[in-house]
Amino acid sequence: MSGQQPQDTTTDVVRWAAFSCVLVPVVLLWYGTSLAGATGTALGLAAVTAVCRFLLRQSERGAARLLAEEHASRPPHRGRHHRAGAGSHRAGRHSGGNTPGG
């Protein structure tokens, strides 16, 4: 799904991280790690997930604010047929020029 919004992507990342916070300690217990070790790992993963979620949200807000400022400072778009200045194309005959009979 290439049309996802950044916020949806962030939500997906946080969901996978939360899933890992549950899955990793279960796997550790399955392979014989102590309950205290698995609990410590779960708490550590939860802390890292919370910090990453906070930083991702801050980044989204900053990007949205920057986009809004950029949009506010940009002159209104006039469309492609209202260009003027050097390099613009104009229809009609050219006067003078390098014609053989001219």
Least Cα distance to 14 among 51, 55, 49, 57 occurs for: 49
Report the predicted TM-score, pTM, of the whole model to 2 decimal places. 0.58
Confidence of residue 37 (pLDDT cuts 50, 70, 90): very high
Rounded to an integer, what distance in angstroms lies between the CA atom of residue 37 and that of residue 5? 37
The predicted structure's pLDDT at residue 8: 77
The predicted structure's pLDDT at residue 6: 56
- pLDDT tens profile 41-96: 999 999 999 999 999 889 989 988 988 888 888 776 666 655 555 555 556 555 66
